[in-house]
Each structure stands twice: as C-alpha cells, then as structure tokens.
Structure 1
C-alpha cells in the first residue's frame, strides 16, 4: 500500500533536511512531501519573522489537505513535534501514523520553552539578541539554516481530543547526544503500550546521521 509521508523539520531547518529520506521513501514506492515552515524558507517572506506555532500548524495542515487519497504518516523532528501534534489534532484528514523523530511529544498547554532544557533556553535568549524576533542558527551550522521565529518557541499549544483519532504513534529517541532534553520522555513512553518506541545511537539529526535506520522504521 502506498503511504504519503508529510515530513516536518525542526528548528532552523527547512524541508531540505529530509531530502535523503524523502528520496528513500519514493524508492520504496511511497509519496513524500517535505515541508518548509514559515520563516525558514531560503528567502523568507516579509513578516515571516513573526510566525508562531499556529502559523506553522497551519502550514502543516495545508500540506495535509494537498495530499492525495490514501493513508498519511505525519512525521516531525525536534521542535516540529509541537507542529505534528497540533496538525493531527486539528486536521480534517485522517492520519494513520504520527512519528516523533527525536521530537517533543507535547500535551495541551505545553510550549517548547517549557519542555526544553536550560541549555536550549539559553540558546534562544542568546540567539535572539540581534533583533528580538528570530533566533540565529548556531555558528558552524549548515549554511541553509535560517533564523527561527522566536514566537513559535514561546507559544503554548492548544490541543483538543483530535489526537485520539490517530491509532499508531511512534517515538524515535536519539541517545548519543549529551544535551538531549528527551531522556525522561523516552523513559515514560517506552513503557506505554500505546506507543511504538525506538532508540537509535545517533546524535539529534537522525535523518542525516542514520538515514537507513530511520527509513526502516518509517516503512515498517
């Protein structure tokens, strides 16, 4: 059965971070759509620096609505766990599977700021010093990365009961980076029978460091 995969990038990254995974999914006979969130485009549109979490959820919803008929997997990396959760909650399209790829799994009322660790909160404060509206990419990052809208990190997520419609939920935990804020989340969900949990011994950008392992999980 052909699956459509909608792939959402984490902070500072665009849809390009999924290029290898998207191509691998197509080789396996599936459809793949890699989404670039507002403000993270190669040439951001005027006003996109004020994009917030709702803006990004709306972008994901538009991608879902544009998918053809058939089952959909919605996959988000890192920050995009918030976008995945919000889009799945609000979408009128049926979503077969949610994949949180080393990503936050938020509850109603959570924000990225609240769930992140102190190291990442300090990164936001320091990175936003230039204009107060966006957070600069870290020095030495991929040159395609872009300043990330601050508001999306601060806004609280509002969830209803829409997530209950998604029967299959997958967490991928990358265990080989010291700064991970996801350890306690992994420990909690790996014993939850409602979740399928995988641990990969990689750093945070799983799609770049372990593409074959990630593809195997996505196409399982």
Structure 2
C-alpha cells in the first residue's frame, strides 16, 4: 500500500491556444483512474470562460490563473504540464513560485526568453497570418479560430467535430505582451520537453532547436500530433507517469 501511495502524483495540466481545460478530458480520466490527483483549469478568456475575454489583458493574467489555483488548493510537489501556448504560462509560474513544483513538462510548447512575447519567436509568416485574421474579424481582442489547423488532428478523426465545437478565439494580448522572468527558463526545476513528432508541428521547429541546447533539460518524443491529449491519451499518460516518477 505504501508503494502505491508513493507512486501517486499531482498533475496540473495547462492547455494551449484556442483550447480550454476540456481538451485534457481523456488524460484526466486516465490519470485519475490510476490514482493521481489532477487539475486541468481553463485560462481566462477561453473555453467556458470565454465571456471573460476582455479580462485577458496580458500573459500575466494566465500566469495568475495558475498561480492562484496552486495557492487556493494549497498544492505541493506538483508536476506542471504546459501544452503549446501553455508552455509560456508554465514558465511564468515556475519563475514566480517554484516551491510547490516538482517538475515541468513542456508538451510541444512555445517557449520564450525574458522580455520576449510569443509573437517574437514564431515564424513571421505565422504572425502575419494571425494578425490578418484578427483584422478581418472586425475586432481587436482575439485571434479567431482557424479550424483544426496546427492541432495535428485529421478532419476525418472521430473527435474532430468534438474539438472544433469547443475551440474559442484566443486573447491576442497573451501573444503580444512579453514574459517577465527573473530567473533562467525553468528556474532550476527538472524540465523535460516533449516533441509531438507525428506529424511534427513545424511552427515550433525553432523553439525545439533552442531547447536541445539548454543544459540539463530532458528530451522526449511521442508518436502523435500536436494535440497529443486528444490523439493519443494513453501514450501521453504513460509518458507523464514515467516523467513524474523520474523527477
């Protein structure tokens, strides 16, 4: 019994752009069934919190979402998983409050250095396309949903419609305001970058090349597309459990 208790972990799952906590449903179910404690919040302005779009005035708001959750739930020894855009949020939380965090898992994440915004490290063509979509939408607060582009989910996938119905416009300010870091990226915590390699999301190729040069970081590949939590929840859960034990 003591061995089972030791194997249990607390996971905090941070979703990516246009998504919400809903995208982790299949991963949450599996982790909970295996005895773990799991939190998968939705960031301000997205998902079921899309009515708060105007409150998402910067990346700091998302970082505070997660920091406040950790404090309110009095979490300790947490494995923080940031998917895609969620990597920026995880980076900010780790910089501000590393004590409750056991380790960081960056799942096909977008990462920046101190003083950089998300748009600063994405390919210029991607930034231009997203800003063009904002202008065409007639509003200035959010990047419109662009279907399943970038998710790695095929249009004929059984869950394609389920995902499309839940995607919501993403707060633009979270990509245009810089991330303020007082410490090196990861803040000395155990960090692992997970590359979703089949198909690989080329938009993040420059980020992945930079990560490979970071001293002390772990590297893993998983045989699925960008939205691994939807496409391959079993593979992802197995990997998260292995990384949690390793840390």
**TM-score when normalising by structure 1:** 0.90
User: 1:167 pairs with 173, 189, 213, which one?
Assistant: 189
Separation in structure 1 between the aligned mates of residue 231 and residue 214 of structure 2, nearest angstrom: 27
Matched with 1:96 is 102
Q: Measure the CA separation in 1 of the matches of 2:190 and 2:147.
A: 38
2:50 counterpart SS class: coil
Deviation at 1:190, TM superposition (A): 3.6
Separation of aligned partners in 1, 2:67 and 2:118: 20
CA distance in 2, matches of 1:197, 1:37: 27
Larger Rg belongs to: 2
Q: 1:133 to 1:165 in 2, by over 3 A?
A: closer
Aligned partner of 1:185 in structure 2 is: 207
**Count of aligned positions:** 220
Counterpart-to-counterpart distance in 2, 1:170 and 1:201: 16
1:121-150: CA deviation from partner (whole Å, max 9, x where unpaired): 133213312201111111466111111111
The structure with the largest helix share of the pair is: 2
Which TM-score applies when normalising by structure 2? 0.80
Work out whether 1:155 is the aligned partner of 2:177.
yes
**Alpha-carbon distance in 2 for matches of 1:136, 1:215:** 30
State the distance in 2 between where 1:34 and 1:85 align.
Answer: 17
Cα RMSD, aligned residues only: 2.2
Q: Is the 8 A contact 2:27 2:229 kept in 1?
A: yes
Cα distance change, pair 137–82 in 1 and its aligned pair in 2 (3 A): same
Contact 1:90/1:162 (8 A) holds in 2 = no
Which residue of the other structure, out of 13, 38, 48, is the alignment partner of 1:42? Answer: 48
Within a 5 Å distance, the mapping from 1:1-220 to structure 2 comes to 1=6, 2-42=8-48, 44-46=50-52, 48=54, 50-91=56-97, 93-129=99-135, 130=137, 131-139=139-147, 142-161=164-183, 165-177=187-199, 179-190=201-212, 192-220=214-242
